[in-house]
A and B are shown apart, each in its own frame.
Chain A
């Protein structure tokens, strides 16, 4: 079964689906939606099969496929997945059908073609899968850049207020990072002996100066993508303007490309430079945790607020990666998954509120829980997951990051812990101002606010809630997959865990 070319099929399938959906006539939007949903479920089914076929404890990279593409430059279509990539692929496969279902009516308000919206979502899925599945640096770069195009049109054509500005800002920021990476990719190609194969390149010895420059080129692109402070300013604009479904994919998956890239490319390919730059990266992570949390507290726009919370979470992920311990690394990857689930849910729920109220401003709500108790309950749950309440999945990852960091760097861990307190502040305050307290009389006049969750929306939120609770109590299936990949990455960096180890990851998780 493991001979089946999972990764290339997974990459191509959504693209084919996108073509099919795009060919549906504009006058039959329902058909387009159904086809898109069906197709994304197909991709999900295939991903589940792949998850089962993945041998835990087997080779670091599995499902490897390679086909020649541009032999003159040593470029191949090489796909391979380690544990980190596998969980991210799974996250994509889970999120996309839910996003499609959640976006059922999103495109109708924009006067633009409905089938194209869903086709763009599928194109985005294709590029997202490709970027995590690629094991050839050139191929990775291609997906990394092409990913911008569908997202640009999703924000620019179907977004809300200030969508043009947000779309252009998103595109230019990412392109700037991408072009720095291009220079570094070419540099890596030259010093690596004209090959793009990840495994070959990870064996190459690079002189110290060159290695630092190349690291910087890659890191800058990933830091913008993630985004880390101070490259984060595009995310609140893009997240605020994008339609809720696209925003959920933007922060849930797209941004993880940055942290994934650091784990897959920056650390193993440039280990010495990574160690040299680690204090700086840790500092950026810490500033991000505190600064973004403070800004989130002050936001009046729900979607921008959620965007800022996720910048703070990316600070945690960054700290976890650059602490260079297995626990912190595993925590960081687990955080990537959990953040995708929790923030994805939060974005979708906020999107449901915004669609009902016709406004994303916190001050336009107030006591909404009295009108839509179920929806308000889900918002509360998503908020609690987001602030990493014990029992929800993000708690496990945040805790792993913190103890993993504590063993090697106490001040960093202590400062990062402050972020937890701030997280409680922004989440609880937001929940209180929107759903609790006295009912805002204006709300009763809005028709939408009298409709609680319908069946479609229940189907959207239920799997996410279930996964968050499940992984909160029993993260083992995921950590088992991640752990060997992180150990291998830490070996690449040449980092060993401190001697008086706190125990295995599973024990720590309890």
Chain B
């Protein structure tokens, strides 16, 4: 009988994900054993500490370039950079999730099991403390994302995809108010997400079949094998193309690229706003991290085949996001379409076949994450007796009522519109430059044209806030608690700093922009 050989495991390199998953498990125990009144504090501290610990490990591992546990995980520059990005953005999102002074009891339902609109539901909406299981769920999701961007084979990637998706589906359903909308969003996200996962898995199977065609080699789904198969497999290329297409569907769904974007506006609108921010920032980083790795490492040899298709998806995504954003009347849906359009810009970066393209995309992810979290932080503050006032007409004259927050939001919108001296401009430059350099002028032109369209909805919000007179129903901005203020300020300052002095982060991204193969 053959002796079972265990693969060597570099625990230090895996530490960030292990810490997050361990903290999540610990969080489940906290739910069971810690008295209810202490749970919020304990859970939030635990989650934040775990993020901090994981971030420390990422920094300590900064020089690692290795593949471990039998080729399942790659710890290299992009992995560490993206893990760091996810952790920093997740910490901001956790601050928003933990806020309890803006709304009594927080943004989350006290017991998800109460039927919507029942007497129990109305009572909980009045200010019973929100459920604390959101923390372990979020921590699980962060852990999954950390593995997702580090996965070095398609199966690990699939498992990580599920690990971070399932908690997100649940989190979407936990809004304190407008619960039917929230539950509908969660169900939609879950159903479509399940399909997307199935597509992904089917794609893995087809690619596995394709790798069986390597002469004198063994089949496998790790990226090195796939890469070799693209170069020399004798199997039908149909397997490769179909597999690649199905894999892309799974990943583009998470990235919210058209035509796989239809869930985005509903889910962004229905989910509790801190979770929307978390998804818009961290899920985007994770999804694009995986896209970068799959297309730069595994399918690099098929670049000529996938570029036209992904390019068309990018153009469609930018168009759909920009054009539909114009018609929106709800701020959360507007930001959702803006996030779709941004997925398009990010795809332009993914398709830039160079190290600069890779570093530019990573820079864009970080810059966008900070801005979008700050944007959703403002959204949580504009509220009346019935919760957040998300309809745009309600924002009329906000600049008179609360000039400070209206000013902050204006700044973020200018960043989204790509005005210089904000991170929105530098990040657009960071992806468009390498794309043009790589000969993808058509993508850049599409990007520029859609930016013009997209400027209009942003500007309309600015006009609403500053140039319209406040109406009777204009809500006031709730004075935020310390946690939201901190998240908001981090986001705004990062948006400014990355716009004025992007060099340090660009250096970091450029230094990190090389995959181990």
What residues of chain A have their CB less than 8 Å away from a CB belonging to chain B? 69-73, 141-142, 145-146, 148-149, 153, 156-157, 163-164, 167-168, 171-172, 175-176, 179-180, 182-183, 186-187, 189-190
Question: Is B441 an interface residue when CB atoms closer than 8 A count as contact?
Answer: yes
* 15 other A-B residue contacts (CB within 8 Å) besides A179-B418, A179-B448, A189-B433: A69-B503, A70-B501, A70-B503, A71-B503, A72-B502, A72-B507, A72-B510, A73-B506, A145-B425, A148-B419, A167-B463, A171-B455, A172-B455, A182-B448, A183-B445
CB distance from B226 to the nearest CB of A (A): 32
**Which residues of chain A are within 8 angstroms of B428 by Cβ–Cβ distance?**
182
* Contact A145 B419, CB 8 Å, known A70-B502, A176-B452: yes
**Which residues of chain B are within 8 angstroms of A142 by Cβ–Cβ distance?**
420-421, 425
Interface pairs (7), CB distance under 8 Å: A146-B420, A148-B419, A172-B459, A175-B452, A175-B455, A183-B448, A190-B436
**Which residues of chain A are within 8 angstroms of B429 by Cβ–Cβ distance?**
73, 182, 186
Most chain B C-beta atoms within 10 Å of own C-beta, residue among A148, A149, A156, A190: A190
Nearest-neighbor residue (CB-CB) of A182 within chain B: B448
How many chain B residues have a CB neighbour from A under 8 Å? Answer: 35
**Which residues of chain B are within 8 angstroms of A157 by Cβ–Cβ distance?**
466-467
Against A, the Cβ 8 Å flags (1 = close, 0 = not) of B444-488 are 110011011001100110010011100000000000000000000
Q: How far is the CA of A153 from the CA of B410 in the complex (A)?
A: 12
**Which residues of chain B are within 8 angstroms of A69 by Cβ–Cβ distance?**
501, 503
Instruction: Assess whether B444 is in contact with A179, with CB atoms less than 8 Å apart.
Output: no
CB distance from A155 to the nearest CB of B (A): 10
Main secondary structure of the interface of A (DSSP, over half): helix
Nearest-neighbor residue (CB-CB) of A167 within chain B: B467
CB distance from A189 to the nearest CB of B (A): 6
**Which residues of chain A are within 8 angstroms of B419 by Cβ–Cβ distance?**
145-146, 148-149
* Contact A156 B467, CB 8 Å, known A179-B452, A182-B448, A190-B437: yes
CB distance from A111 to the nearest CB of B (A): 9
Q: How far is the CA of A183 from the CA of B468 in the complex (A)?
A: 33
* Contact A164 B463, CB 8 Å, known A72-B506, A145-B419, A186-B433: yes
Q: How far is the CA of A153 from the CA of B399 in the complex (A)?
A: 12
Question: Is B164 an interface residue when CB atoms closer than 8 A count as contact?
Answer: no
Which residue in B444, B501, B502 is a CB contact (below 8 Å) of A183? B444
What residues of chain B have their CB less than 8 Å away from a CB belonging to chain A? 414, 417-421, 425-426, 428-429, 432-433, 436-437, 441, 444-445, 448-449, 451-452, 455-456, 459-460, 463, 466-468, 501-503, 506-507, 510
Q: How far is the CA of A148 from the CA of B419 in the complex (A)?
A: 9
Q: How far is the CA of A168 from the CA of B456 in the complex (A)?
A: 9
Q: Which 8 pairs, one residue from A and one from B, show the smallest C-beta to C-beta distance? A: A142-B420, A72-B506, A183-B448, A164-B467, A179-B448, A156-B467, A145-B420, A190-B437
CB distance from B306 to the nearest CB of A (A): 23
**Which residues of chain A are within 8 angstroms of B414 by Cβ–Cβ distance?**
149
Nearest-neighbor residue (CB-CB) of A141 within chain B: B420
Q: How far is the CA of A298 from the CA of B417 in the complex (A)?
A: 37
Q: How far is the CA of A189 from the CA of B441 in the complex (A)?
A: 13
**Which residues of chain B are within 8 angstroms of A70 by Cβ–Cβ distance?**
426, 501-503, 506
CB distance from A112 to the nearest CB of B (A): 9
**Which residues of chain B are within 8 angstroms of A148 by Cβ–Cβ distance?**
419
* Contact A153 B466, CB 8 Å, known A145-B420, A146-B420: yes
CB distance from B267 to the nearest CB of A (A): 30
Q: How far is the CA of A57 from the CA of B363 in the complex (A)?
A: 46
Nearest-neighbor residue (CB-CB) of A175 within chain B: B455
**Which residues of chain B are within 8 angstroms of A156 by Cβ–Cβ distance?**
463, 466-467
**Which residues of chain B are within 8 angstroms of A189 by Cβ–Cβ distance?**
433
* Contact A73 B433, CB 8 Å, known A142-B421, A156-B466, A156-B467: yes
Q: How far is the CA of A69 from the CA of B501 in the complex (A)?
A: 7
Q: How far is the CA of A57 from the CA of B476 in the complex (A)?
A: 61
**Which residues of chain A are within 8 angstroms of B463 by Cβ–Cβ distance?**
156, 164, 167-168
**Which residues of chain B are within 8 angstroms of A172 by Cβ–Cβ distance?**
452, 455-456, 459
Most chain B C-beta atoms within 10 Å of own C-beta, residue among A141, A145, A167, A182: A182
Q: How far is the CA of A171 from the CA of B463 in the complex (A)?
A: 11
CB distance from A436 to the nearest CB of B (A): 38
Nearest-neighbor residue (CB-CB) of B420 within chain A: A142
Which residue in B436, B503, B510 is a CB contact (below 8 Å) of A186? B436
Instruction: Assess whether B459 is in contact with A180, with CB atoms less than 8 Å apart.
Output: no
**Which residues of chain A are within 8 angstroms of B451 by Cβ–Cβ distance?**
179
Q: How far is the CA of A39 from the CA of B377 in the complex (A)?
A: 38
Nearest-neighbor residue (CB-CB) of B455 within chain A: A175
**Which residues of chain B are within 8 angstroms of A190 by Cβ–Cβ distance?**
433, 436-437
* Contact A163 B445, CB 8 Å, known A70-B503, A72-B507, A142-B420: no
Instruction: Assess whether B503 is in contact with A175, with CB atoms less than 8 Å apart.
Output: no
CB distance from A478 to the nearest CB of B (A): 32
* Contact A186 B444, CB 8 Å, known A141-B420, A145-B419, A156-B467: yes
Nearest-neighbor residue (CB-CB) of B469 within chain A: A111
Instruction: Assess whether B456 is in contact with A186, with CB atoms less than 8 Å apart.
Output: no
Which residue in B418, B421, B441, B456 is a CB contact (below 8 Å) of A187? B441
Q: How far is the CA of A190 from the CA of B356 in the complex (A)?
A: 12
**Which residues of chain A are within 8 angstroms of B467 by Cβ–Cβ distance?**
156-157, 163-164, 167
CB distance from B286 to the nearest CB of A (A): 25
**Which residues of chain A are within 8 angstroms of B418 by Cβ–Cβ distance?**
179, 182
Instruction: Assess whether A187 is in contact with B459, with CB atoms less than 8 Å apart.
Output: no
Q: How far is the CA of A180 from the CA of B449 in the complex (A)?
A: 8
**Which residues of chain B are within 8 angstroms of A175 by Cβ–Cβ distance?**
417, 452, 455
Q: How far is the CA of A172 from the CA of B455 in the complex (A)?
A: 7
Instruction: Assess whether A186 is in contact with B452, with CB atoms less than 8 Å apart.
Output: no
CB distance from B501 to the nearest CB of A (A): 8
CB distance from A8 to the nearest CB of B (A): 15
**Which residues of chain B are within 8 angstroms of A71 by Cβ–Cβ distance?**
503
Nearest-neighbor residue (CB-CB) of B450 within chain A: A179
Q: How far is the CA of A187 from the CA of B441 in the complex (A)?
A: 9
CB distance from A204 to the nearest CB of B (A): 15
**Which residues of chain A are within 8 angstroms of B425 by Cβ–Cβ distance?**
142, 145
Nearest-neighbor residue (CB-CB) of B422 within chain A: A146
Q: How far is the CA of A190 from the CA of B429 in the complex (A)?
A: 12
Q: How far is the CA of A176 from the CA of B460 in the complex (A)?
A: 16
CB distance from B350 to the nearest CB of A (A): 17
Most chain A C-beta atoms within 10 Å of own C-beta, residue among B414, B437, B467: B467
**Which residues of chain B are within 8 angstroms of A167 by Cβ–Cβ distance?**
463, 467
